[in-house]
Amino acid sequence: MNGIRKNLLYPSFLLLLSILWACSPSGNQESISILAFGYDRHVELQWPKLEGVNSYEIWVNTGNNNFAKRATVTDTVYLDFVNDLGKNLTLEYKVVGINTEGSTEELGTVQTTTRDFSDEELLDMVQFYTFRYFYQGSEPNSGMAPERIHIDGDYPQNDQRVVTTGGTGFGIFGLLAGIERGWITRQEGADHFEKMVNFLEKADRFHGVWPHWLEGDTGKVKPFSPNDNGGDLVESAFLMQGLLAVREYYKNGSEQEKMIATKIDQLWKEMEWNWYTQGKDALYWHWSPDKEWKMNFALEGYNECLITYILAAASPTHTISPEAYHKGWARSGGINTDVEAFGYSLKLKHNGSEAMGGPLFWAHYSYLGLNPKGLKDRYADYWEENRNHTLINRAWCVENKEGHKGYGEDLWGLTASYSINGYSAHRPGEDLGVISPTAALSSMPYTPEESMKVLKNLYYNYGEKVFGRYGFYDAMSPEANYYPKRYLAIDQGPIVGMMENHRSGMGWNLFMGAPEIQAGLDKLGFDRK
């Protein structure tokens, strides 16, 4: 293990992987390090970027020292899916650098093995890769989650440094899981959260509320739209949901950790939830310093925004009345319905999607920290609502009346994601033949067996088309041959966070352990039995 870089991330099941130091052709182990990680159906290779080298060839030994080229890449991370070579393999790789003049030099060779993984090991693998988006892929100045990462390099508006508040909040649960599962040390985790919290203290806020997007290098607001250039209450609620989990995680820790918890507590107390009511019995999504309430978007259920009312009611400094929840969110009881699809009932009117439920992120975003198990109020049983929502979405895809290629018990899940013509909130009734991996994977707590079938199908059968350095890509469509190598923070975060809730309940335990949250739920009339 000599030579493994200290800051390199690798899974907690390290002993099950092959991580080897490569020898240069001369046998000098000091010359170059190539790392090989053997998984079930793929190998990950990593090596340092070399000055003067602008591309690399990857070769594998097929026997008797006969090497076949696998790829030519410009990156220094390469995932080789080896389905064509077989299973349970012992493989030898070499990496060849090509300089700007076209000359080649062998950098070294390395051996590794692949083997069949158990379901738990597959979950570890997918969580770990997705966690890397929020650690390795984080914006360097802020520690926040980039709005998007495009492996294909095509960024709109040159926004590589733009960070997302809500997506960061989701990713926080993945970072905490990473500490607990040993993917980073506790010290590395604390250093990362300290950077993030220090950034958020100085970043633009509007009555204590952050905007949807921030410039990661400056902390200044990046307008989401011409009138959306101020506080975004919903995205900030998603962020604070995660931050309160961090506060609970660190409140009895080291001096550094207690300092992080104290700063989060101050940020929490500075959020003016009551300002965002306009003095009415409802919360409003946006406020701008120059456009003020021009967007005037009241938060009415049901959609992804439940956590916003929970936090507003729980605030120890700027709380809202129960009437705002019952008259605003629940529309004085108008939130209720009684519809059934595929044998599953929904008790809440899913805005614009009453018959079969909205996009599946509605069952995820508010529930990274808020535990839906046993959570009930006068309007719904939230575990049953979310599970039925998921099962209806799945049943629509399995029935597949529109005949979309690939759909079935092992390929389902409609939610908001990249789409063939940009971005779309895919859902039953508005189905473009695009599957978003986050839909089924983030539903793991509700449908563990059904979601696991999707995970296995994506990994074993689609492989490199849908899986990269930060886990499963954002969207795919077999019928359109659409496999963009792109990620969105708001889709990656729920994958790792909800999978961890399925496995250990960590996010739920931390967030629900905050005393203000329990008080806020009592205030709004929730039962948690």
DSSP assignment, residue 209?
B
Calpha distance 235→165 (Å, rounded): 6
Amino acid at 509: N
- For the beta carbon of residue 152, count every other beta carbon within 10 angstroms: 8
**Which stretch of DSSP H or E encloses residue 110?**
strand 104-113
Question: In which residue are the tokens 């309430």 written?
Answer: 293
Q: Give the ranges where 253-302 is alpha helix by DSSP (H).
A: 255-269
Question: In which residue are the tokens 């390199």 written?
Answer: 8
What are the beta bridge partners of residue 482? 477
Task: Write the CB contacts of 96 (distance below 8 Å, at least 6 apart in sequence).
Answer: 56, 57, 59, 104, 105, 106, 107
pLDDT given for residue 157 in this prediction: 56
Q: Residue 471, SS3?
A: strand
From 499, 399, 376, select the one nearest 446 (Cα to Cα).
499
Token pair, residue 222, equals 């990046």
Token pair, residue 281, equals 């019995």
Cα angle 92-93-98, degrees, rounded to a multiple of 5: 160
What are the beta bridge partners of residue 411? 408
From 376, 373, 372, 368, select the one nearest 241 (Cα to Cα).
368
Q: How far is CA 154 from the centre of its chain?
A: 20
**Which stretch of DSSP H or E encloses residue 245?**
helix 233-250
Calpha distance 292→222 (Å, rounded): 17
DSSP assignment, residue 284?
B
What are the beta bridge partners of residue 149? 487
From 258, 304, 249, select the one nearest 512 (Cα to Cα).
249
Q: Residue 232, SS3?
A: strand
pLDDT tens, residue order, the chain (529 aa)? 222 223 333 443 333 344 444 444 444 444 578 999 999 999 999 999 999 999 999 999 988 889 999 999 999 999 999 999 999 999 999 999 999 888 999 999 999 999 999 999 999 999 999 999 999 999 999 999 999 999 877 655 557 799 999 999 999 999 999 999 999 999 999 999 999 999 999 999 999 999 999 999 999 999 999 999 999 999 999 999 999 999 999 999 999 999 999 999 999 999 999 999 999 999 999 999 999 999 999 999 999 999 999 999 999 999 999 999 999 999 999 999 999 999 999 999 999 988 899 999 999 999 999 999 999 999 999 999 999 999 999 999 999 999 999 999 999 999 999 999 899 999 999 999 999 999 999 999 999 999 999 999 999 999 999 999 999 999 999 999 999 999 999 999 999 999 999 999 999 999 999 999 999 999 999 999 7
pLDDT given for residue 64 in this prediction: 87
Are 398 and 408 in contact by the 8 Å Cβ rule? The answer is yes
- Can the peptide bond before residue 10 be classed as cis, meaning omega within 30 degrees of 0? no
pLDDT given for residue 382 in this prediction: 98
Token pair, residue 65, equals 């020292």
pLDDT given for residue 156 in this prediction: 59
What are the beta bridge partners of residue 72? 57
Are 150 and 489 in contact by the 8 Å Cβ rule? The answer is no
Catalogue all structural domains in the chain, each as residue range(s) with its CATH number. Answer: 14-115 (2.60.40.10), 121-524 (1.50.10.140)
Calpha distance 151→485 (Å, rounded): 5
- The pTM of this model reads 0.94
Question: In which residue are the tokens 């999978």 written?
Answer: 499
